[in-house]
Structure 1
Amino acid sequence: MSTFIVTYHYADDSDARRTEHRPDHVAFLQGLRDAGVLYMSGPLTQEPPRAVLVLEDDDVPSLEARMDEDPFHRNGLIARREIEPWKVFFDPRRPADR
């Protein structure tokens, strides 16, 4: 498994629609967390409106397909999505290599 940083850049004027679809989006994220794919996620606090997710998956195509199922994506609320591989050095979920 590889670790990835996913950045969502929200569509302009999507605040109300994100509120409308947030329950389904949260349920989607909870499913990813329960499956051991999502480590953490949340909105960035400065403009422009964006969010960051830290996930694990086999590869970029697999992760892209998985993230295409997000209700925010399916309903056009994500203007741009960036997926970047991340080489994790410290991970509190795993014991340190000795």
Structure 2
Amino acid sequence: MNYFILKYSLIPTYMEERGKYREEHLKLAKDYADRGLLVLGGALADPTDEAILVFKTESEKEVAEFARQDPYVQNGLIAKSEIRQWNVVIGNCFEQ
């Protein structure tokens, strides 16, 4: 298994707009978490201009599919997204 980071650059009005799509977004995230694919996720604070989601999966295809289905992406709350493989070296919350 590999780790991937999905990084979202958020639009300036993200905090005001997200409520409309939050339930759908969290439902999708929970589905991926329940399947063991999404490990962590959340927006950065002060300023809330980016969000990071960490996935554990065989390939980035599943990460790209998450982004494609994400209501935040579909409704323009995400200005830009990027998927990067993450080579985890150490951490007691990750199995190697």
Letter in 1 for 2:46: Q
Q: Which runs of structure 2 are paired with 1:1-98 in the superposition (5 Å)?
A: 1-47=1-47, 49-91=49-91, 92-94=93-95
* TM-score with structure 2 setting the length: 0.85
* 1:30–1:16 distance in 2 versus 1, CA, 3 Å: same
Deviation beyond 3 Å, 4+ runs, structure 1? none
Aligned CA RMSD, in angstroms, stands at 1.7
Distance 2:62 2:27 in 1: 20
- In structure 1, runs of 5+ residues without a counterpart are none
Q: Is the 8 A contact 2:5 2:55 kept in 1?
A: yes
Q: Which has the larger radius of gyration?
A: 1
SS of residue in 2 equivalent to 1:51: strand
SS of residue in 2 equivalent to 1:67: helix
Distance 1:7 1:14 in 2: 15
Corresponding residue pairs, total: 95
Distance 2:33 2:62 in 1: 16
CA shift, 1:61, in A, is 3.2
Of all paired residues, the percent bearing the same amino acid is 27
Distance 1:50 1:78 in 2: 9
Distance 2:48 2:60 in 1: 25
Letter in 1 for 2:78: I
